[in-house]
Amino acid sequence: MDVPDRQEFRRAVGLLPTGVTVVSAFGDGEPAGATASAVCSLSLEPMMMLVCLDHGSRSLAVLQRAGRFGISVLGVGQQPAAEVFATKAPQSEKWSSVSWREHLGVPIVEGSLARIVCGLGDVLPGGDHVIVTGTVIEVEAEPGDPLVYHGGLFRALDAGSGDGIERADA
């Protein structure tokens, strides 16, 4: 069996729209964070989150030492934050570009649609990434339009003219 083409794989998974977040923690009293789109709920009982970060992420080491992390779910107007936190810029430069606050021991991006604080759970290998789980300590959410990543671009979620598609089992 042939190995799948890497570029075709990237194109295929790029068709999966994802929310955009900043995953953050404090290290040596300073905030650290990275843009992450591989973030999802893992469990409702107990409430848990799953985050995937690149092995080379400087924020990963900070998160592991801190023992807790924050997830700021970005809104459509926060694309500049998503872009800067996706870079290898110094952490101080990233955080000086956004409004943020400390909440329950983690840095949170102000204006984000949802803020989730987690205690560090498992850190598991996952190819060129690390899979991090966290137990939810607190969650806050407010209505708004999420920033979405799809096809290699940041986008607004187009709700169209209706309220969505009715579930077949509804």
Domain ranges for the chain = 19-150
What is the reported pLDDT for 169?
Answer: 64
The one-letter amino acid at 123:
V
Arithmetic mean of pLDDT, 88-115: 97
Report in angstroms the alpha-carbon separations of 100 from 36, 83, 128: 17, 16, 30
Give the chain's mean pLDDT.
Answer: 93
How far apart, in whole angstroms, are the C-alpha atoms of residue 73 and residue 141? 9
Three-state SS for 11? helix
What pTM value is reported for the model?
0.91
The yes-or-no verdict on residue 159 having pLDDT over 80 is no
Higher pLDDT, 3 or 69: 69
Kindly report, residue by residue over 61-78, the tens digit of the pLDDT: 999 999 999 999 999 999
CATH, domain range 19-150: 2.30.110.10
Confidence grade of residue 167 (pLDDT, cut at 50, 70, 90): low
44 by DSSP, 3-state: which? strand
Average pLDDT over residues 73-97: 96
pLDDT by residue (tens digit) across 32-48?
Answer: 999 999 999 999 999 99
- Given the structure tokens 């205690």, which residue do they identify? 119
